[in-house]
Structure 1
């Protein structure tokens, strides 16, 4: 080999060895300064070393946890720091979610619209009824009694005509029906049933004024014993108990009522069978 070529190869090998040793020396210095292993040391193209990157990431993590403590969401932290959502989740997932006060919804406008719609529907339906003929009131009264009145059972024959309800409007319709049937008002007896914790005297006055009869037609009020463990909704000034209306010597009337109801049921069944499928 040419002596000159040997000299060039020797110089090149020496240069490579010197460069490698210098790189190892710099890696050792970086390891001592930032606490990382020599294998983790790398020199980037822009001159930014791993130690600087670690310091920046540590600062971002601390800032992310600080923002989370202030009640920021993941998206707000991502936007503020310019990092990925996965990094934010890794940094702050051990922190409790921020407590956010719930805004109480304003139901006022919705309830007002619902109230107006309800009143409009009721007014329209009331207009559809118009005036009732005697036959229409008769049919309505039969159905009303069979729904709310006392009924004889196969195992307990009782042909009494007793109607009980707490709704004063229902009571007035029932009394109008009895009047239509020609029942003498002198045959009617009334009895109040009410909880003992209510204003009994006020309730007695209310029902007496409603039926328009003297106190002689009213029997002794039945008081229901108050049970503190029971949560009752029917309380307050609007609670007046239930009024029982009995027709004396009503066996014959009861048999007619039962027959009328059977007639209504028969017509209903026949219409059901004849209606197209």
Structure 2
């Protein structure tokens, strides 16, 4: 420090310059560069007791929560009680109030009840965050061009549709899925390709212990297809030792969609897919924004 003062001159004179610059609104870095100081300890001494200008203070999104958490802690609230009221994590609460006195101990039953409410509040907050993220993402794809739907349909078919194998040649467009939304997108894609309704055949695949008539009725309504377009339902035999999770009122099995006379369409789908693969994997991908 003495060597630095010898280099920079009188301490009081240097402090007067630093304080004057600080009051002009300069940041620490600006003062350091203006006075050509390279010793942070000396700079701290020169600016001791001098508040930073407002523009250098970073606003913190959780300042209000922190202030409220401290108020609740001073009222004798536990971390769990503060979490219930504010919906923030106990880790953050601990950082905000750790210098404050601890409230008196509570009974185990009271502590458990408060902890449960705190966890429920945390789960609600997390679910709200999930929904906010999902809704924001949904807006990003709320509208599709025909080409975007076309490409999405090609990828969807190649992920979920039947494919010809070297050991089992079958150039036929068949698609099966249990998700009604996936079925809707696939049917929209077929309409985009100009496939007429009379070229489609449907089959329900479902476990024999389910409500088969209700499932058949659901898929007919969902697709809007005539009953004559539905073939015989395929029933999966019940195995008593198997623990099934796809049960309940929302279980409606899978819907298989077959496009009749579709060998040429299958070959085009295969070509479209490998065109996408080639464009994506080429050294200079042919991607248009």
Query: What TM-score comes out, normalization by structure 2 length?
Result: 0.58
Aligned match for 2:127, one of 90, 110, 115: 115
> What does 1:172-183 correspond to in 2, within 5 Å?
172-183=184-195
In 1, Cα distance between the equivalents of 2:284 and 2:215? 44
The offset of 1:273, in angstroms, is 7.4
Aligned match for 1:141, one of 138, 150, 153: 153
Aligned to 2:165: 153
**C-alpha RMSD over aligned residues:** 2.0
Preserved CA contact (<8 Å) 2:210 2:251: yes
State the Cα deviation string for residues 58-117 of structure 1 (Å, max 9, x = none): xxxxxxxxxxxxxxxxxxxxxxxxxxxxxxxxxxxxxxxxxx999475231122112111
Deviation >2 Å, runs of 4+: 100-105, 271-275
The offset of 1:202, in angstroms, is 0.5
Aligned match for 2:264, one of 234, 252, 261: 252
> What does 1:11-30 correspond to in 2, within 5 Å?
none
Structure 1's unaligned 5+ residue stretches are 1-99
Aligned to 1:233: 245
Change (3 A) 1:128 1:230: same
Indicate the SS of the match to 1:232. coil
Aligned length: 176
Which has the higher mean CA deviation after the structures are superposed, 169-178 or 220-229?
220-229
> What does 1:30-179 correspond to in 2, within 5 Å?
103=112, 106=116, 107-179=119-191
In 1, Cα distance between the equivalents of 2:249 and 2:278? 43
In 2, Cα distance between the equivalents of 1:143 and 1:130? 19
In 1, Cα distance between the equivalents of 2:208 and 2:162? 24
Give the number of the structure whose alpha-carbon radius of gyration is greater.
1
Aligned to 1:24: none
Structure 2's unaligned 5+ residue stretches are 1-107
Aligned match for 1:207, one of 219, 225, 230: 219
In 2, Cα distance between the equivalents of 1:263 and 1:153? 19
